[in-house]
Amino acid sequence: MKIEFKDQVGIITGAASGLGQAIALNLSKKGVKLALFDRDTNGLQKTRNLLAGESEIYVLDITNEAEVADSINKVNDHFGRIDILVNCAGIVGKTNILSHEVEADNMQLVLNVNLMGSFYTSKYAIPKMLKNNYGRVLHIASISGKEGNAGMLAYSTSKAAVIGMTKVQGKEYAETGVTINALAPAVIRTAMVEALPDEQVKYMTDKIPMKRCGTLEEAASTAAFIVSPEASFSTAFTFDLSGGRATY
């Protein structure tokens, strides 16, 4: 199926690397004009150099509400509209530790990036979409947000919260032409995953019936469908990308 994105504008957070970069590449090839959000200036420039179509980079701290609001206003002013928001910015935090050993500062940091960052961007992007009676918001969650991964309290909790937020937002805007969904991958081979302890990756991969990690290309293709005009009757839903791990 050929997915059409005629004259659409999308924001990708965490676009400097990993899944954010992969989704940006996919959507750019389909003709989406992109606003690339990240705090990594060099990484953003590298992503932009790989893209086929029009794009702008915005260097910001996703956990700073004022910076997010200002950047989204600039995107809307520059491109004239916002049709797509994909929230890929995320961190794992410290892993392979028991819950009572989790430091409060690390817990708060992970929640700020993974949950509050997605909250801020959607808070300011959705009103722009409502003016056009159309929009697609995709929050990148995780299978750990559904099932919980031992040794990953902060990350699992933050992604569970993202799933909860998706359910609420999707229901609230269901009649507006704006859909809000989440994507819950199992282990995808990214730099973030490569940085995890081997035992943590093995623990997660062993739970996947396919016995392998997902690829960035697989995740990007799924994301592209979710934010496409064709995905018009799905909202408040969490799509699984888990190699058979999630069956509900």
**Tens of pLDDT along 109-143?**
999 999 999 999 999 999 999 999 999 999 999 99
Query: What's the chain's average pLDDT?
Result: 93
For residue 205, pLDDT over 90 is answered with: no
Q: State residue 192's pLDDT score.
A: 66
Which range, of 97-101, 155-159, 243-247, averages the lowest pLDDT?
A: 243-247
Does 22 have pLDDT greater than 70? yes
Residue 19 has pLDDT above 70, yes or no: yes
pLDDT of residue 244: 80
Q: Residue 100 pLDDT more than 70?
A: yes
How high is the pLDDT of residue 140?
A: 98
Catalytic residue among 155, 173, 203, 248: 155
The whole-number pLDDT of residue 4 equals: 79
Q: Which residues of 107-122 are buried (b: 16+ CB within 10 A; e: fewer)?
A: bebbbbbbbbbbbbbb
Q: Which residue has the higher pLDDT, 32 or 197?
A: 32
Instruction: Over range 75-79, report the average pLDDT.
Output: 98
The alpha carbon of residue 24 and the mean position of all alpha carbons in its chain are separated, in whole angstroms, by: 11
- Looking at residue 188, what DSSP letter applies? B
Q: What is the pLDDT of residues 206-240, one digit of tens each?
A: 878 887 778 899 999 999 999 999 999 999 999 99
Topology, domain 9-233 = Rossmann fold (3.40.50)
Where do the DSSP E strands lie in 160-216? Answer: 178-185
Count the helices and strands in the chain (H runs, E runs): 10, 7
Residue 221, Cβ neighbours under 10 Å: how many?
15
Helix, strand, coil share of the chain (percent; to 5) = 45, 15, 40
Determine the pLDDT at residue 209.
Answer: 84
Give the helix ranges, DSSP H, for 112-177.
117-130, 143-147, 153-172
Catalytic, 155? Answer yes
Mean pLDDT over 149-165 rounds to: 96
